Amino acid sequence: MSSRGWILFLAMSIIWGIPYLLIKIAVDGVSVPVLVFTRVAVGAAVLLPLAMSRRTVTIVRDHWKALLGFAFFEIIAAWWLLSDAERHLSSSMTGLLIAAAPIIAAALDRLTGGERLGAKRILGLAVGIAGVAVLAGPHIGGSTWPIIEVLLVATCYAIAPLIAARHLADVPALPMTAVCLGFAALVYAVPAAVTWPSEMPSTQVLLALAGLAVICTALAFMVFFALIREVGAARALVFTYINPAVALAAGVIVLNEQLTPWNVAALVLILVGCVLATHRRAAAPAGAATEPTRAAPR
């Protein structure tokens, strides 16, 4: 990988590892609809001018059902559940639970007629599920619903790429992302207006919202697209394995969240499970379609 590739890779590892920290800060000062609307509206405002063209209009006309489905699972439902769950869970635990998304994706792909799972991938599913159990087990009872919410987010993040692979494979990432953020902004406009804060949030909350919208959404996508151009879609996605560690470290260092042996053990098990569960027996031949890129941070 080139020096530019490594810089972009490290940038994405951090940029999409810190949303959980910023959500935890922001959700204490504004409602969930306001938080999500801020993210998607700013992201759409930045990306739509870059993506707007006659081709984008054609893409919306020809693929609007799939785009709506993708936007629902990847952004509209996922970001609501994620933000609501972080009202009760630590940011580090949330980031670790979301890391189960590739494991769920592998299982869903097989259940919906995708690639058959070999012994190594089945082992990966088992190891990853064990990691989730290690992480969530001590919290079952008092925080059951927030944990379920995060696992639903991971499921949404697993469903969305399947929609992209099967119905949006010929749609470029930039217009797809911009249009989906625009869809989400329209959905959240009224709920955000109804729950808009009556008083100005604290400076800390405003900075967290700005970071989520500008850095973790708008800037993140531009850096992500640059990374894809530099190293390819398949290699670009490797940074997703580093995000949980960044989320864990950010929560512990910035918010003084507790670092327990359970967290460390769960991180190791989930990451090992992800690597094994997403293993491919052989590289795709030249010219073959690559795995769809994600259109939203975890």
Cα–Cα distance for residue pair 76/79, rounded to 1 Å: 6
Alpha helices in 143-242 (DSSP H): 144-167, 173-194, 203-210, 220-231, 233-236
Nearest to 245 by CA among 99, 83, 34: 99
Instruction: Give the pair of three-digit tokens for residue 139.
Output: 């919290």
Instruction: Give the pair of three-digit tokens for residue 130.
Output: 């064990």
Instruction: Give the pair of three-digit tokens for residue 190.
Output: 């009224």
Q: Say what the pLDDT of residue 284 is.
A: 39
Cα–Cα distance for residue pair 197/27, rounded to 1 Å: 12
Length of the chain: 298
Per-residue pLDDT of the chain (298 residues; tens, 9 = 90+): 678 878 888 888 888 889 999 999 999 999 999 999 999 999 999 999 988 888 889 989 999 999 999 999 989 999 999 999 999 988 988 888 887 777 777 777 777 776 676 777 778 778 777 877 777 666 565 668 898 898 899 889 888 878 887 888 888 888 888 999 999 999 999 999 999 999 999 999 999 999 999 999 888 888 877 877 777 655 655 666 778 888 888 998 999 988 888 778 877 887 787 677 666 654 433 333 344 444 444 4
What pTM does this model have? 0.81
- Cα angle for residues 131, 157, 29 (degrees, 5° grid): 90
Q: Say what the pLDDT of residue 295 is.
A: 43
Helical axes 243-255 vs 3-15, angle rounded to 10°? 50
Q: What is the domain partition of the chain in residue ranges?
A: 3-190+199-277
At 15, the amino acid letter reads: I
